[in-house]
Amino acid sequence: MKIFIDSADIKEIRDVASWGILAGVTTNPTLVSKTGRPLRDCIAEIVEVVEGPVSVEAISPDADGMVKEAREWAELDRNKVAVKIPMGVEGLKAVSRLAKEGIMTNVTLVFSPNQVLLASRAGATFVSPFIGRLDDISHDGMEVVRDAVALIEYYDFSTQVIAASIRHPLHVVEAMRAGAHIATVPYDVLVKMVRHPLTDTGIKKFYDDYQKIPKK
């Protein structure tokens, strides 16, 4: 399973990129608004810093508008920008048109296996089931990831499943168990994934014991 960071904060992105584990970035208007930066500057810098795909959200309500936005984003680097298209009839129209143009898409705000099937049929590069938001309303968010992976494999679609709206490290473990191709993980959760109390105490004990070794 590849790891993306779900963030628009360039400091967080640079930091995780330096760990050598980062395969891409997902953003959304909420995350970009938290940076206080103009959208285009923010995304252009992320595209420069990161090797893998960078998802940026289209906000037009209709397919023509989404396609226009996508073409503009693709000018930054069409091999790296994936345009996030919200699930819906207009979104599906946009995805199928963009697939023919070779522009990567990430169908977002996905909450059911039927939506995964439709996005895959339309030619989405990525599909993003939102786990945390389903858990928030007492549905099993991971169930959609499991179904998505199974149906994509069964019907031999090329769409990759991004486990999104991840809230804690156990979500990442469950996404792996479900066979998600990618998990997009917020910075604080990535930091928690690194840590384990037994690692910390183990490092301290080895360090302390090293000091006791005679130097000659």
Residues lying near ligand G3P in the complex (CB under 6 A) are found at 6, 26, 28, 128, 130, 132-133, 164-165, 184
> Which of the following is catalytic: 2, 80, 84, 204?
84
- How far apart (Å, rounded) are the C-alpha atoms in residues 34 and 178? 31
* Shorter beta-carbon distance to ligand G3P: residue 159 or 165: 165
Q: What's the token pair of residue 104? A: 């990567």
CB closer to ligand G3P, 11 vs 205? 11
CB of 186: closest distance to ligand G3P in angstroms? 7
Tokens of 148: 């998505």
Instruction: Report d(CA 143, CA 129) in Å as an integer.
Output: 10
Minimum gap (Å) between residue 166 Cβ and ligand G3P: 7
Please, what is the minimum distance in Å from the beta carbon of residue 94 to ligand G3P? Answer: 19
Q: Please indicate whether residue 34 is annotated as part of the active site.
A: no
| Nearer of residues 59 and 203 to ligand G3P, judged by Cβ | 59
The HSE-up count of residue 184 (CA atoms within 13 Å, CB side) is 28
Smaller CB separation from ligand G3P, 26 or 115 = 26
Instruction: In angstroms, give the least distance from the CB of 134 to ligand G3P.
Output: 9
3-state secondary structure 53-101: CEEEECCCCCHHHHHHHHHHHHCCCCCCEEEEEECCHHHHHHHHHHHHH
Q: Which residues are tagged catalytic?
A: 84
